[in-house]
Amino acid sequence: MKFSKFLTPFALLATAVSAATTTTSPALRLGRRDLLDLCVDVKLDLVAELNKLLGLNLLDLGAKVDLCLCVSALPLFIKANLVAGLAADILGDDVVIAALEALINANHPTQCTLPPHANSICTAGNPCAFQCIPPFVASPDGKTCVLPPSTKAKRSMQELAINAFDDLTCRTTEMRCPVPNYGGHRDNLWECVDVRNNLFACGGCTTAPAYGDFSEMKMGTDCAMIRGVSDVECAFGMCNVKRCMRGWKVGVNGTDCVRA
């Protein structure tokens, strides 16, 4: 995704105000740990930028600092950063978060894909860095978070019923799907998934079985992984895209995002 570096302060402020009034799907903002995110590693004078964007008059010493910012982490950033926190005390969290999001967009951000069971740890030189949430650990290739072979998944019975395929009985509204990112092929664990409204397995399973002939298995879509998506839901087994990231627009069929 490309963003123009020639946006005027007024254009950025308009973008910020617009973003502040838009609701983002919890599933993509802080549900399943933000599978899609925009992050930037940049050196700038944060005081000057916020003064310019928001019309403030905060004391500016002209000091540039290294910042690594992700859209998903902005609510935490304004609580931890003195300058952003002061601006939020004056104008409110939503306005400052929207301005910071506009600032990210204006500095050539990286679109990051965060795997399930991970937290973003934006770092200098690697804005898409992440850390797996225990008991999950990084996979050998460092791209996903998996359970160690000796660890069993601890999920509530209300969410998942994991067992061998032959022994797993699901409700009539559910499908038996392979459990993703679990140890290795020998585990061959399965879960019951209601594919009518599951954001991450919409319309069918989204993980191929480790082994065996399951060629007739109905495959679905991970709606959260749709490129450019910002707000999406699964309804009646189909991804329903409500909003796309900047530079994208909802496709004619409403199930994807296309370049604007």
CA pair distance 90, 52, nearest whole angstrom: 15
Bigger pLDDT: 11 vs 57: 57
Of residues 180 and 161, more confidently modeled? 180
* pLDDT of 210 higher than 70: no
Average pLDDT over residues 196-204: 90
Please report the pLDDT score of residue 251 as a whole number.
Answer: 92
- CA-CA-CA-CA torsion sign (185, 191, 196, 201): negative
Question: In sequence order, what are the residues at sequence separation of 6 or more whose Cβ sits closer than 8 angstroms to the Cβ of residue 167?
Answer: none
At residue 152, the pLDDT reads 45
- Annotate 108-172 with DSSP letters as a single string: --EEEEPPTTEEE--BTTBTT-EEEPTT-EE-TTSSSEEB-TT------TTT---B-GGG----T
The least confident of 34-38, 112-116, 155-159 is 155-159
Residue-level pLDDT at 216: 66
pLDDT value at residue 218: 82
pLDDT digits (tens, 9 = 90+) for 32-88: 334 678 898 988 888 888 888 888 888 777 778 888 888 888 888 888 888 888 898
**pLDDT value of position 150:** 53
Contact predicate 175/192, CB 8 Å: yes
Tell me the pLDDT of the chain averaged across its residues. Answer: 75
Give the per-residue pLDDT at 202. 92
Point out the least confidently predicted range of 15-19, 118-122, 238-242: 15-19
How far is 197 from 253, CA to CA, in rounded Å?
18
